[in-house]
Structure 1
C-alpha cells in the first residue's frame, strides 16, 4: 500500500558566514527556504518522514529530486492516496508526518483528524507569510473560524481562456483579448459557433466543476449561521444566466467535447491543460491563450483560490522536521524549478515569474503571461458543507434540465437548494 523512496546520501554543512549572508536580521532565510532555528529540530540528522499525497505525477518526482539534493539525510516514505485511503491509513496506525492534497480534499482530511494549526510552527521558525501573493493568506484563514493556519498552499491552479486560432482564421474573426468580460464574450462566441461543410464548431464551452469552484462573484454556497444552502439568490441566478447562457447561442448547445482532441472548439476554459495542448499541437492544433474573462463589475476582483496544499497531522511524530521540509518546498528555489515547467507560482517570486514556462516546449510566442493574470479574489464565506453544495450545483444547476431548457432558472435554483439541504441533513444524522 505504500511506496518507499530512499533519498541519496550526500551533503555538506554550510559555513557560518554563508548561512548569515543568506539570512535576514531576525534569522530567516530571505527566500523562505530554510525554516530552521538554533533551538529547533534539524534536517541535517538522518530521519525518515512519512509523506501522504494524492499526486503521483512528475511533480512528485521533482519534489523528491529537490529534497534529495537539499537534504540528503532525509528519507521519504511516500504513501499515495490511490493506494491507501485515509481510513485505511488511520486503521493501520500509519499517521503521516505531512501530506499534500488538492483543496477539494481539505474537509475530508480535516474530518479524518489529519489537519492541525500551523501557526505555532510558523511563528517559531519565523516563516515569512508575506512571501505569498496577495489574497492567499486571507483565503487560507477563511477556512478557520478562529484564524488558524490549517494548511499552506503551494501552487496556483490559474485559469486562462484557450482558443483555437485555426477556427478564428477560418471564419475571419478576431482573436479574444486579455481583459474581456463574459458578457463581451457572447458576441465573439456567436461569430465562431457555426456549421461549416457538415462540421459543427462550438464557440465556447467550459469545464463546469472548475468554474463553479472558481466562483468569480465570490458568492457563498452555504449560510454558516443556518448550515442551509445559499444558492437560490439573485446573485447566483446572474452567474447561472451568464455562464449557462453560452449554451443558448445557436450551434453552441452543450456537448461533452475536449478542446485539444476534436479541435472543433473555438474557446475553452477549465483546469490547466497546457501539457495536453502542447502535445495536440503536434497534430495540428494552432492555439494560444488569453486571461480568464471576468464578470462585468465583479465585486470579488478575481477568482476563488483553488490550490493544492501541504498540512501537518496532529499525530505526526516529526512535526517540526516536516514543517521545515514544507518551508523548503515553498522556497524560491522550488518555486522557480516548478514554474519553469509550467506550474503557476504562489509565492511572490520575481525569479519564478520570469522563468515561468521557460522549459516547456512549444510555447514560444504564446501569451503565457495570461496564466499569471488570474488574481485571487476576496474569499467567499467557507463552511464544511461547501463541498456538498459545489458538487450539487455544478452537476444539477448546469445539468441537462438547464441547457435543454426543460426547466427555467428559478425552478432549477430552487431544486438545487433543496438537494443541497437534503444532502447536508443526511450528514447530520
Structure 2
C-alpha cells in the first residue's frame, strides 16, 4: 500500500504540473490563430493526440488510427496500449497526460482517482453533437456513472448479452432449442435436459461468465448505498438473484469447470452460455464443427419488462488536455454512422440508435448469415441504479466472495452475502482513510 501511495502521489504531482503548463499555454493566442485560419480557408494546424486505450478496445487501436487520419489528415493518434509497465498510472508518472482515453467500465474508478474525467457537456453543445443518436438509456447511464450531473464519459459500443447455444448438442439429445423471451427459470429446465454424459463426454447444459452477469444486474440492485457508503447486498432481492443464478451449477453434471469460452468454442461440450460477446471467434470455431445460434438473454420470472445495466467501454477527454476540440471531433466521428457501421459489421454492437447500422451487424463475419442476430438487440439498457465510487470493487468482491463460493457449494447464500458485505465495507473504510 505504501508503494501504491507513493505512485499515486507522483501521479497527482505530475498532473498538477501538466495542468499548470496547459493553463499557461491557453493564453498564447491559439484561438485567434484558429479564427484567422478559418477565415482565410487555411488548413487546420497538425495535431497529435496522445491516445490511451485499455481493455477489449485495445484491438481497435490500429483501425482507429487509420480511420481518424483518413477523416482528419491533420490529426494523428499516438496510441499507448494498456500493458504491464504502460498502465495509465505509468503514463502519468512519466509526465505524459493523454488527450483522449478509451477505457473499460470496470476500471472507471482509476480515471476518477487520477482526475482524468472531464465534463463533455460544453463540447457536446459547442460541436452540436446530438445525444439522442445513442440508444435509449445510454445517456442516462453515462450521466449516472459520471456523477455530479455531468457527462464525463461517452460509451461507444454496447456489450449486450445473448444466449449462445450449440445446436449439435440439442440435436444429439433430441431436445428442442431454447427460444427468445425465456425466463431464467425456464432456461434452467432446458439446461437440465442437455446436461448429460454421452460416450464418456460430460456435456454441460449452461455456463456463464460470473463477473459479466453481475455487471448486467438485471434486477437493478445497488451494490453500495450512496447515502451511507455501506454495502447494500445483504438483501432479499440479492438472495433471490443468487438463488436463481447459482441454481444452474447445482444441476448434477453441470458444475462449473474450466473456462466457459474454451469449453463452448473449442471443446464444444457446453450446450448454452452467456457472457462477453466473442462473435469474432465464431468463424474459426464453426470451421471446426460448431453449429451455433442465439436467443435473447433470459429475464427473471415476473419481470418481463426489465432490462440490464449498461456495461460498455467509453471515451473520456482529460480536463488538462489543450486539445479538447480535436479530441471531441474524433469522438464525434467515431460515433458516426460510418464508423459505427464498420464496427457493427465486425460484430461490435452499435451504441447509436440507427436501424440501418444495426442491420449491418456481423456481416463481415463468415458463417453468421441467417443466424438470430436480432437476439443481441433485445438486451436493452435499464434505468441506472445510484452509482458510487466503490461500485467496481464491490462488484468484484460480490462475484468472488458470494456468487462463486455459492455455486461451488462452499458457502450457503446467507453466509456468502454476510461475508461479502463485510469485505465491501472494509474496502470502503480503507479507501475513506486515504
Match in the other structure for 1:109: 111
Contact kept in structure 2, 1:303 and 1:374, CA below 8 Å = yes
Q: Show structure 1 runs of 4+ deviating over 6 A.
A: none
Measure how far apart 1:404 and its partner are.
4.1
C-alpha distance 424-47 of structure 1, shift in aligned 2 (>3 A): same
Measure how far apart 1:126 and its partner are.
1.6
C-alpha distance 298-309 of structure 1, shift in aligned 2 (>3 A): same
Contact kept in structure 1, 2:68 and 2:76, CA below 8 Å = no
Match in the other structure for 2:256: 254
TM-score under structure 2 normalisation?
Answer: 0.86
1:391-427 CA distances to partner (integer Å, 9 max, x unpaired)? 0111121223x23434321111111111111122122
Contact kept in structure 1, 2:57 and 2:102, CA below 8 Å = no
Contact kept in structure 1, 2:163 and 2:296, CA below 8 Å = yes
Match in the other structure for 1:410: 414
- For 2:155 and 2:350, the matched residues in 1 are separated by 10
Contact kept in structure 2, 1:205 and 1:269, CA below 8 Å = yes
Measure how far apart 1:57 and its partner are.
4.5
Match in the other structure for 2:124: 122
Structural mapping, 1:267-282, within 5 Å: 267-282=272-287
Match in the other structure for 1:367: 372
Measure how far apart 1:252 and its partner are.
1.2
- For 2:239 and 2:188, the matched residues in 1 are separated by 18
Match in the other structure for 1:33: none
Structural mapping, 1:324-343, within 5 Å: 324-343=329-348
- For 2:89 and 2:61, the matched residues in 1 are separated by 23
Match in the other structure for 1:149: 151
Match in the other structure for 1:98: 100
- For 2:300 and 2:44, the matched residues in 1 are separated by 50
Match in the other structure for 2:181: 179
Match in the other structure for 2:203: 201
Contact kept in structure 2, 1:218 and 1:300, CA below 8 Å = no
TM-score under structure 1 normalisation?
Answer: 0.87
- Partner SS, residue 290 of structure 2: coil
Measure how far apart 1:187 and its partner are.
1.0
Count of aligned positions: 389
- For 2:125 and 2:305, the matched residues in 1 are separated by 30
Contact kept in structure 2, 1:161 and 1:291, CA below 8 Å = yes
Match in the other structure for 1:311: 316
- For 1:216 and 1:101, the matched residues in 2 are separated by 23
1:339-358 CA distances to partner (integer Å, 9 max, x unpaired)? 11111000112221121111
Match in the other structure for 1:358: 363
- For 2:259 and 2:295, the matched residues in 1 are separated by 20
- For 2:258 and 2:365, the matched residues in 1 are separated by 28
1:203-226 CA distances to partner (integer Å, 9 max, x unpaired)? 111100000011111100000111
Match in the other structure for 1:162: 164
Contact kept in structure 2, 1:208 and 1:394, CA below 8 Å = yes
Match in the other structure for 1:302: 307
C-alpha distance 121-383 of structure 1, shift in aligned 2 (>3 A): same
- Partner SS, residue 302 of structure 1: coil
Contact kept in structure 1, 2:224 and 2:390, CA below 8 Å = yes
- Partner SS, residue 351 of structure 2: coil
Measure how far apart 1:144 and its partner are.
3.8
- Partner SS, residue 76 of structure 1: strand
More helix by share: 2
- For 1:135 and 1:417, the matched residues in 2 are separated by 29
Measure how far apart 1:323 and its partner are.
0.9
Segments of structure 1 that go 5 or more residues without pairing to the other structure are 1-37
Measure how far apart 1:299 and its partner are.
8.1
Contact kept in structure 2, 1:388 and 1:424, CA below 8 Å = no
Match in the other structure for 2:80: 79
1:285-319 CA distances to partner (integer Å, 9 max, x unpaired)? 11111111111233872111011101010111211
Measure how far apart 1:43 and its partner are.
8.2
Contact kept in structure 2, 1:115 and 1:312, CA below 8 Å = yes
Measure how far apart 1:279 and its partner are.
1.2
- For 1:325 and 1:279, the matched residues in 2 are separated by 33
- For 2:43 and 2:288, the matched residues in 1 are separated by 47
C-alpha distance 283-145 of structure 1, shift in aligned 2 (>3 A): closer
- For 1:305 and 1:204, the matched residues in 2 are separated by 23
1:133-158 CA distances to partner (integer Å, 9 max, x unpaired)? 10001101112442100110000011
C-alpha distance 43-141 of structure 1, shift in aligned 2 (>3 A): farther
- For 1:299 and 1:193, the matched residues in 2 are separated by 26
Alpha-carbon RMSD: 1.7
Match in the other structure for 2:27: none
